[in-house]
Amino acid sequence: MLNKPLIFDAHLDLAMNALEWNRDLRWTVDEIRMSEKSLTDKPDRANGTVSLPSMRDGHIGVCVATQIGRYVKRGNNIPGWKSPEQAWAQTQGQLAWYKTMEDEGEMKQIRTSEDLDKHVLLWENPDKNTPVGYILSLEGADSIISMRHLEKAFEYGLRAIGPAHYGPGTYAQGTDSIGGVGKKGHDLLKEMERFGIILDATHLCDESFREALDIYHGPVWASHNNCRAFVAHNRQFSDDQITELAGRDAVIGIALDAWMMVPGWIRGKSNPESMGVSLKLMINNIDHICQLTGNSLHAGIGSDLDGAFGTEQCPYDLDTISDLQKLPGMLSEIGYSASDIHNILSYNWIRFLRKNLPSG
Ligand SMILES: [Zn+2]
């Protein structure tokens, strides 16, 4: 246990799993799976890979954890709430869950660079009860009803926002959609800049990506985004986008959703073994970013392992999130040095946040 390095996972939807999947994340992964044997309401029932004990076991001691509430306009068939007000209320329930986990000593919110330093120190000597630290992020900004709500969110500790998710959004256009950020997106980005809220470039369609990066001058990262070089899809970053992000000092988290790792994945049909989906493909994405940028400063982990998929749609050599501990050995095998590995496992995110979180 003592020899495992700290891992920073920049994208988990923990509260969504607690409240929409009805998973008590204090249970072990096996206990959660057992409890779901007869359920069929979600594609990943009985296949989950994430819980707080499994994070602790794998020394995933700090993560970026989301609030997520999508608003879908009348006539659109994508799943989501019928109004921004409902979506906001959903995210407030998620916040309440994180706070309850804090009261239980299971998690610890990180709002400032001092909080981060303290937490990283705590994980130098963890035990089985050491809380999992989290930086609060919002995936898709549709739930931000007004700029007053943005201010409120900053006050309760929201530190990063991905303006869009799947499809068209209020503030930007997301995956599988087209178009720019519009006036509302412009205003949101400027307010985010004023508060120093990190822009998460993940899920932005190419045009919104272009506009958002031009309008917004604050810190940018991409919490969970793979490379278009391997899977040619608008959800992935082109080499030009990766180079531009690196120029903005961004870190890009590599995700473990099978369809983003191998071309031709068919949801509900393909399986990880026959498609050759293994952690090696994650390493390939990490290595691609490192080769493109000429260093190990811009690649990290943003597993998304609880993003509505489980073992049916993730690398076959990963059973629970604690298996992220296989990565250091795999990186070492292809010639990465100890300091490169440290950067990729945790330090790139830590360095970024030290610089960009508010102080005190
Ligand atoms: Zn996502």
Q: What is the pLDDT of residues 3-23, one digit of tens each?
A: 799 999 999 999 999 999 999
Please give the structure tokens belonging to residue 311: 């073992």
CA of 172 to the centre of ligand 1 (A): 14
Q: What is the pLDDT of residue 78?
A: 84
Answer for the pair 61, 325: CB distance below 8 angstroms, yes or no.
no
CA of 80 to the centre of ligand 1 (A): 14
Average pLDDT over every residue of 239-266: 98
Q: What is the pLDDT of residue 183?
A: 98
Confidence of residue 306 (pLDDT cuts 50, 70, 90): very high
Average pLDDT over every residue of 170-176: 97
> pLDDT tens across 73-113, in order?
988 888 899 999 999 999 999 999 999 999 999 999 999 99
Confidence of residue 162 (pLDDT cuts 50, 70, 90): very high
Half-sphere exposure of 112 (CA within 13 A, CB side): 7
Average pLDDT over every residue of 256-272: 97
CA of 221 to the centre of ligand 1 (A): 13
Instruction: In whole angstroms, give the CA distance from residue 170 to residue 177.
Output: 12
Mean pLDDT of the chain: 97
pTM of the full structure: 0.98
**Percent of the chain at pLDDT exceeding 70:** 99
> pLDDT tens across 13-67, in order?
999 999 999 999 999 999 999 999 999 999 999 999 999 999 999 999 999 999 9
Instruction: In whole angstroms, give the CA distance from residue 88 to residue 151.
Output: 13
Confidence of residue 1 (pLDDT cuts 50, 70, 90): very low
Kindly compute the dihedral angle of the four CA atoms of residues 245, 114, 191, 149, in this order, to the nearest 10 degrees. Answer: 120
Helix (H, G, I), strand (E, B) or coil at 160: strand
> pLDDT tens across 106-156, in order?
999 999 999 999 999 999 999 989 999 999 999 999 999 999 999 999 999
Answer for the pair 306, 12: CB distance below 8 angstroms, yes or no.
yes
CA of 323 to the centre of ligand 1 (A): 21
CA of 88 to the centre of ligand 1 (A): 18
Q: What is the pLDDT of residue 359?
A: 95
CA of 223 to the centre of ligand 1 (A): 8
CA of 224 to the centre of ligand 1 (A): 7
Kindly give, in sequence order, each residue whose CB lies less than 8 Å from that of residue 77, ignoring residues fewer than 6 positions away.
Answer: none
Alpha-carbon distance values, 263 to 167, 269, 314 (Å): 21, 14, 14
CA of 7 to the centre of ligand 1 (A): 20
Confidence of residue 279 (pLDDT cuts 50, 70, 90): very high
Q: What is the pLDDT of residue 357?
A: 98
Of 78-82, 196-200, 261-265, 304-308, the one with minimum mean pLDDT is 78-82
CA of 139 to the centre of ligand 1 (A): 7
Instruction: In whole angstroms, give the CA distance from residue 163 to residue 172.
Output: 6
